[in-house]
Chain A
Amino acid sequence: MSATKSEDRQITATAEAKRGLQPTAVSSVRETLTLTPAVHPIIQEFLAAGELLDELTAALGSPLNILFPQIAGSNVDGFHDKLDKLSLRGRVYFAHKANRSDSITRQLSFEHCYIDVSSTNELRHALGSGFNARRIQATGPKNTAFLTLALQHGIVISIDSNWELRELLSLKKSLQTEQKVPLLLRVSGFRSAHSQYRSKASRFGIPLAEIAQTFALLEPAEDDIHLLGFSFHLDTTSIPEKGQAIENCLELFERAISLGFDPTVLNIGGGFKTNYLASEQDWHRYTTAIRDAALGARPPLTWQSNTFGLLPDKGALRGSFNSYSYYDPLTGPGFLEELLAHQLPDQGDTTAGAMLRDNGIELWIEPGRSLLDQCGITVGRVNSVRNSSQGDLLVCLNMKRQDICFLDQEIFVDPIVIYKDQPDTENPPSAVYFAGNLCLESDLIYRHQTFLPAVPQPGDLVVFANTAGYFMDFSASQAIMQPTAAKIAVYKQNNRFAWSLDDQYQPRRFSRQENS
């Protein structure tokens, strides 16, 4: 009860700072709005050891991307545990697009894992990393070159449009491949009588309204194709919305069966989410402060008073906070479990999991971000520490925003500063901005303030945790000829850390014990 009491006080204090009251002057107690990252024990141990990291950054420069391939293996197991618990048969496909690393892909080829590729080069990479054709699926919109290579290897193709299906059928004729092409039909535009979602438009998949044409194309092609089943990927974190897509797909199974096909696979795509923060309280406090600042009830804590989509309007806030939920209590395998426990109204409230199990439908999933949860970090070195024209303290790193930001999305997770000299914690900075090495006003690594225990000094290392999934080098460019990060793999075996260049990594068997 006493803990709740003190929380109350905090909330009340925050509420006090709201509308109608003057922003409170900087109080004598220094405000620290930390966003402490969640860090895997293996990585904590690696950072604490220190020496190897110093050598690596000295040799390979800043920025540096470090992958921990062995952690990916445990993540795959996490998803399988949930399927096993429900007696569901299924496959875990690594969504390759989340990271193009060699070491990760090679290591996953040693695990109970399949791979989903979305370009010709990803397909080449998967084959070259040790995945044989039976473990590869081609997804996303495909050009002729991609379709040709996919056909030649006989991999599963998830058809993204009727155009693509026609192209595939004619290519198969001209290539004269013998094997039937294993197909999934990716569909979109889900509807049901029980819920009207104002769902976002999707550029992908065959609209359900056009599925009759698809079947008409498939029926005469029975000797050329093997319809495995259906697939979808919805860009939403809402379980009922995904449940609706599953229901719609089950209707397609029924329709396909009536037409004489024998579908046995449902691929529900990815989007299982990832948690980045160690503390829920951190996330709530920081996001509350951003809202307070947007209303003018406290000094801004973002660059140029950016409000990330929130709009003050006559004392109330409109719009929504445009950010990934960096704290999330239900992610990865847990989210999958919740989705499979979702009751489908059109199926007499049977759960999605029971529906698939009882009908012998295999469940395929394509996690990317959540499969790479905790599998990598990005390290930058401090170039200089200076003030902005407004007096804000800038910590300039030898890297740019694109070296970690996915499509310019802001990352609300504190980096770990490794101070090379004894830090001066007696005089902590109020807050700092991390800036990049491009001569562009917009090149801030973070457009929000980070609250540090001490001011970093030139030469100190700044470690961004959990960047393997989409952040690391998804958007990295060589603008103004600044280098992109070197990529290496670090692993722990027989109680010691070893490393190799990413492209020199040899996959190996790790015991589960070594992975935790």
Chain B
Amino acid sequence: MIVKQMTDLIGNTPLLEINQAVHGLRNINLYAKLELFSPFGSVKDKTAWSMLRHDLDQIKQKSQTVIESSSGNTAKAIQMICSMHDIPFKIVTNRVRVREVKQILQLLGTEIEELPGKSQCLDPTDPNDPLFIVEKIMSSEPGKYFHTSQYTNERNTEAHFEMTGAEIAKDLGSVDYFIGGLGTTGSTRGTGEFLKRTNQSLKNIGIVSSKNGFIPGIRNSDEMHEVGLFDRNFYDEIIEVTVDESLDAMLRLVRSCGVLSGPTGGASFAGALRFLRSIDAELTESRNAVFLVCDRTEWYLSYIQKYRPQLFGLTRKAESVRTLSDAELAGAPELGLEQAEHWLASDPKPLVVDLRGSLAFKGSHIKHSINIPAETLEEMSETGLPFSADQKVLFVCPVGDQSRKFAAFFKARGIDCLSLAGGFVAWRDAGKPTQRPSARKTGGLATVK
């Protein structure tokens, strides 16, 4: 298959029949509309393409910048299209809450303007509303920006009427239940409206997140009020899904169906199952249901890790500085300041290992020492012994607590080592010799301390 433009690949996403053993419904055939197959990775490719395709020449001709308030997928898709046409793109948002989503946008070169967090001392004159800020930016330089305005743009809905809805109807004929997450509501509205033409008794089900949870890409019931395209009457039912339910369902899609769905696809699957199970038992004939899988798993790894750290099994090595027992720690070899100073002059000369951060080390340190920050030495110690058996070592940290752990750990492994009691702070405060940066780099008048 040869294509000329990546945008030619937008549309015609496949429809996967979910195995009955997975969904357990008796009378309903459940299909997943795999928008994750779209070239830029999400259902928003259709939205972005539809909002921009007619105006690309104009935008380019007028040297405009495209501006949008988006948290992720729309921004990604718009940026890809803009990049292909050498058009600058800027987003204003207070909703980039997933690290990878922001990183992808940075990789693509999007100009991201983030709104500040909520104030402690509220200022009623400060609207802190992305749409308001977008308008302010636009009116400060009239004509410079092209606002795609996904929350009010009817082309958002049209895209899914013409593509998503028509595609499903072509593949499946009549659909009885259509389920999708609510963000701008463009995809559920457009798709639902088309499918309603082929089956008047179609039920449209919208999925929102619970008010105390955050599911990327879909809103909670209150936030729906801010969406211009939203029309409550269009939906036969609105179902609220928790973060836990979405992630459970997402994992089933990933592990049982081979669908690398993101959390929003999981939310739709969870909502679909909840709704369909409640009616399945009373059905006497076969029905078709379709839910949307909006995007892919990989964008959301940090989000998933936050809610399900156990999935990533970050187990520590059994033997590590962190897992020292209290008994082992109690036996940590320590030296007071005077003794330590004396020991440092002994033969062979002990190595001073400064466990502090590089910034503190740069500020001042004990003479002839080497800086290996605690975290780094801990990693090194998990793979082996970094000191020769005939090398004496003095561990130094800020106040002598961490150095005790390392001294205990390495002593138990045969290294002749000690911890400096009271740490560098005690050493410095007692006026023991330290090495400081030799001279000021700027302001030549100043003298060396």
Contact = CB atoms under 8 A, between A and B. Distances in A.
B120 A355 contact: no
A370 B195 CA distance: 54
B118 interface: yes
A327 B382 CA distance: 44
B449 interface: yes
A363 B341 CA distance: 29
Contacts of B117: 236-239, 241
A415 B209 CA distance: 31
A292 B238 CA distance: 16
Contact of B221 (A11, A196, A355): A11
A318 B446 contact: no
Interface stretch (A13-21, A33-41, A122-130): A13-21
Nearest to B428: A262
A286 to B, nearest CB: 11
B385 interface: no
A470 to B, nearest CB: 9
Contacts of A28: none
A215 interface: yes
Interface in A477-500: none
Interface in B287-310: none
Interface in B95-144: 106, 111-124, 126-129, 131-133
B115 A198 contact: yes
Contacts of A253: 359, 363
B231 A273 contact: no
Interface stretch (B167-175, B386-394, B398-406): B398-406
A358 B118 contact: no
A195 interface: yes
B46 to A, nearest CB: 23
A465 B103 CA distance: 44
A19 B212 contact: no
A226 interface: no
Contacts of B360: 358-361
Interface stretch (A141-149, A180-188, A216-224): A216-224
A260 B449 contact: yes
Contact of B230 (A222, A316, A319, A354): A316
Interface in A217-276: 219-220, 222, 235-239, 241, 250, 253-254, 257-260, 262-263, 271, 273
A200 B116 CA distance: 7
Nearest to A327: B212
A304 interface: no
Interface in B248-271: none
A85 interface: no
Given A21-B232, A235-B119, A360 B211 contact: no
A222 B446 contact: yes
B443 interface: yes
A512 B274 CA distance: 48
A216 B442 CA distance: 10
A220 B445 contact: yes
B121 A235 contact: yes
B374 interface: yes
Interface in B207-229: 208, 210-212, 221-222, 224-228
Nearest to B275: A8
Nearest to A242: B117
A443 B362 CA distance: 59
B355 interface: yes
Nearest to B425: A360
Contacts, number: 187
A20 B232 contact: yes
A361 B399 CA distance: 11
Contacts of B443: 215-216, 219, 259
Given A320-B129, A358-B374, A284 B211 contact: yes
Interface stretch (B68-76, B154-162, B321-329, B433-441): B433-441
A132 interface: no
B114 A273 contact: no
Nearest to A294: B225
B424 interface: yes
Given A259-B440, A288-B222, A318-B226, A89 B399 contact: yes
B184 to A, nearest CB: 11
Contacts of B375: 350, 354, 358
A127 B231 CA distance: 62
Interface string B145-161: 00000011000000000
Contact of A194 (B106, B233, B358, B399): B106
Interface in A342-360: 350, 354-355, 357-360
A197 interface: yes
A298 B1 CA distance: 56
A358 B228 contact: no
A259 B357 CA distance: 19
B289 to A, nearest CB: 18
Given A195-B114, A319-B129, A358-B375, A273 B222 contact: no
Interface SS majority for chain B: loop
B242 interface: yes
B356 interface: yes
Given A241-B116, A260-B448, A358-B375, A318 B357 contact: no
Contacts of B237: 12
Interface in A280-331: 280, 284, 287-288, 291-292, 295, 309, 314-320, 322-325, 329
B208 to A, nearest CB: 8
Nearest to A358: B357
Given A14-B221, A287-B222, A360-B360, A258 B441 contact: yes
A87 interface: yes
Given A20-B231, A241-B117, A257-B437, A262 B364 contact: yes
A48 interface: no
B228 A11 contact: no
Contacts of A216: 443
Contacts of A262: 363-364, 436
A219 B356 contact: no
A7 interface: yes
Contacts of A358: 355-357, 360, 373-375, 398
Contacts of A263: 363
A257 B442 CA distance: 11
Contacts of A407: 121
B176 interface: no
A19 B449 contact: no
A239 B116 CA distance: 10
A409 interface: yes
A258 B232 contact: no
B66 interface: no
B362 A200 contact: no
Interface in B407-442: 423-425, 436-437, 439-442
A324 B242 CA distance: 25
A422 interface: no
Nearest to B127: A319
A357 B375 CA distance: 11
A509 B53 CA distance: 73
B280 interface: no
A354 B210 CA distance: 34
A199 interface: yes
Contact of B120 (A199, A235, A359): A235
Contact of A198 (B113, B233, B355): B113
Nearest to A406: B121
Contact of B225 (A7, A18, A87, A196): A18
B228 A87 contact: no
A329 B213 CA distance: 12
Interface string B346-382: 0000000001111110111000000001110000000
14 contacts: A11-B238, A19-B232, A87-B402, A199-B116, A237-B117, A258-B442, A259-B441, A287-B222, A316-B225, A318-B129, A322-B124, A358-B374, A358-B398, A360-B399
Rank and list the top 5 A-B pairs by shortest CB-CB distance, nearest first. A238-B117, A360-B398, A359-B357, A358-B357, A359-B360
Given A196-B113, A358-B375, 4 more contacts: A18-B224, A199-B116, A219-B440, A237-B118
